[in-house]
Amino acid sequence: MKKVYLVADNIISPLGFSTEENVENLRLNQTGIKKVDDNYIWSEPFFGAVVNNDKLSEAWDIISKDSGYTKLEKMMLISVSKLLAENSSLDITKCGVVISTTKGNINSLRDDSYKKAYLTSISKTVQDYFKLDHTPLILSNACISGGLALAVGKRMIQSELFEDVVIIGGDLLSEFTLSGFFSFQAVSPAPCKPFCKNRTGISLGEAAASVWLSSNKKNVTEEVISISGDASANDANHISGPSRTGEGLYISITKALKDAGIESNQIDYITAHGTATPYNDEMEAIAFNRAGMKNVPINSLKGYYGHTLGASALIESIIARHCLINNELFASLGFEELGVSESINVIAKNHKKELKRVLKTASGFGGCNVALIIEKEV
C-alpha cells in the first residue's frame, strides 16, 4: 500500500499565523486562552481562545483587498495561501481537497446572510478563490472531523484517487456553540485543565489549519513523516455521553495499530483529545489503559488552544509532526494532579525525547472516535 506523507502544514490560531510561531509558543507554554470580553460572542466575559480580529485583518490585507469573506473563510484562505506560498511545488488545482468543519459560518444564521450558513458555501469559497475545477469535499463529523479528514485524505491517496490531498480545517468560537456547551454545563469558569483533578470543563477556541498530504516522497524536504495507520469507530452507546468503557476509542486505537503493523509498546507519545470535561477525560484514560498504554507520555493541547472543534485534531496532528521532527514533548498545560481513575503518564514539563511514533486520538458527539498513527522514518 502507498505511503502517505505529511509534507507541509500551516496553523492560524491565537498562538500565531504560522506553524513555527505556534510551536514556539507551545515551547514557551504560552496559552491562547484568555478572558474574552466580546459582546458579539457572549454577554459576559468568559475564558476562550479567539483569533485577534486586527491581526487577522492585517494578514488578510496582504493577500486580498476583498472584504466579502467571513472571519472563518479568511482564516482558512490565509492558511492555505501560506501553505502554497511556502511550497512552490504544491499545485492545489491537481490535489484532492477535503475541508473539515463542524459549524462553518454558523454566525450567518443570526445575521441575514443565512445562505452562508450552508457548509457547502465554504467549499464554493475555497473553490472560487483557488480557481479549482473540482469542488472541495466537506467532512462534518463533530469533534473528530480534523483527524477523520486526515484519514479520509490518506484513504483517497491509497486508493489512487489522487497523488496529493490538501486538508483544510476550521471552526469559530461562536455564540452558537458556546451557548450550547453552557447549556450542557460543560464550559469551565477558568482555562481548561485536561486530565487534572481540578478540571471543570472545556474552554472553546477557534483556529484554521491546512496540511499537504502526498504519496510522492520527492515532495518531502524535512524529516520523512507519514500517517501509517488510521481507524475510526463508533461507541454505539450514547449520542452526547462518552462510553464508560472507552469502547469506540479502544477499537479505533487497536485497528489503527494493526493498520500500521505495530504493537502498543511501539508508541512513544499520545496526543490525546483531552477536552477537560469529567467524563471525556475519564473515558480516554480507560481506553488508553485497555490498549496497554498507561505509561506512554500523553498530553492534551486543549490547554493551549481551547477546543477548536473541526480544527482541533488537525492542529494536534500538525503539532505531533513537529514534535517528531524536533524530538520534543510539550507539557499538558493546566495539568496539576491526576484526576482520572486509571493511571496515565501526563507530561508535566517540556522535555526532549527521541520520538518515532505518535498516536493521535479524538472523540466526539454522536459517539464517534478516530485514531491515527503518525510515524517518522529513521
Partner 1 sequence: MIKEKYYISDFCSIRDKKVFKNGEQLYIDSESDSLKDFGKGIYQYLELKYPKFHKMDELCKLGFLASEVLLRDSDKLDQDTALVLSNRSSSLDTDRKHQVSIQDREDFYPSPAVFVYTLPNIIMGEISIKNKMKSENAFFVTESFDADLMSKYSKILMDTGKATNVICGWVDLDNDKYDVFLAFLSKKGRIELTKEELNNLYNQ
Q: How far is the CB of 103 from partner 1 (least distance, A)?
A: 8
| 99 C-beta neighbours (distance < 10 Å), count | 28
Q: Which residue carries 480516554 as its cell?
A: 284
| 155 C-beta neighbours (distance < 10 Å), count | 14
**Per-residue interface string for the shown chain with partner 1, residues 5-44, x marking contact by CB under 8 A:** --------------------------------------x-
- Nearer to partner 1 by C-beta: 142 or 338? 142
Contact between 282 and partner 1 (CB under 8 A)? no
- What is the chain's Cα-based Rg? 19
Which of 239, 341, 349, 352 touches partner 1 by CB under 8 A?
A: 239
- Nearer to partner 1 by C-beta: 46 or 195? 46
Q: Which residues contact 288 (CB under 8 A, 6 or more apart)?
A: 246, 253, 270, 272, 294, 296, 298, 342, 344
DSSP 346: E
- Nearer to partner 1 by C-beta: 69 or 176? 176
Grid cell for residue 366: 454522536
Q: How far is the CB of 114 from partner 1 (least distance, A)?
A: 9
- Nearer to partner 1 by C-beta: 93 or 159? 159
Beta bridge partners, 317, equal none
Q: How far is the CB of 50 from partner 1 (least distance, A)?
A: 18
Contact between 233 and partner 1 (CB under 8 A)? yes
83 close to 212: Cβ distance less than 8 angstroms: yes
Q: How far is the CB of 295 from partner 1 (least distance, A)?
A: 26
* CA 316 – CA 311 distance, rounded (Å): 9
Beta bridge partners, 359, equal 270, 373
Q: Which residues contact 32 (CB under 8 A, 6 or more apart)?
A: 13, 14, 15, 25, 49, 205, 304, 305, 306
- Nearer to partner 1 by C-beta: 71 or 376? 71
Q: Which residues contact 39 (CB under 8 A, 6 or more apart)?
A: none
**Per-residue interface string for the shown chain with partner 1, residues 339-368, x marking contact by CB under 8 A:** -------------------------xxxxx
Indicate the pairing of strand 269-271 with strand 357-364: parallel
Contact between 254 and partner 1 (CB under 8 A)? no
* CA 2 – CA 367 distance, rounded (Å): 30
Binders in 106-165 for partner 1, by CB under 8 A: 106, 109-110, 117-120, 123, 135, 137-142, 148, 152, 155-156, 158-159, 161
Number of residues engaging partner 1 in binding (CB under 8 A): 54
Contact between 62 and partner 1 (CB under 8 A)? no
Contact between 103 and partner 1 (CB under 8 A)? yes
Pick the stretch among 70-78, 96-104, 203-211, 346-354 that binds partner 1 (CB under 8 A): 96-104
Provide the CB-side half-sphere exposure for 63 (13 A, CA): 20
By CB under 8 A, name the binding residues for partner 1.
Answer: 1, 43, 102-104, 106, 109-110, 117-120, 123, 135, 137-142, 148, 152, 155-156, 158-159, 161, 175-176, 179-184, 231-240, 247-248, 251, 255, 364-368
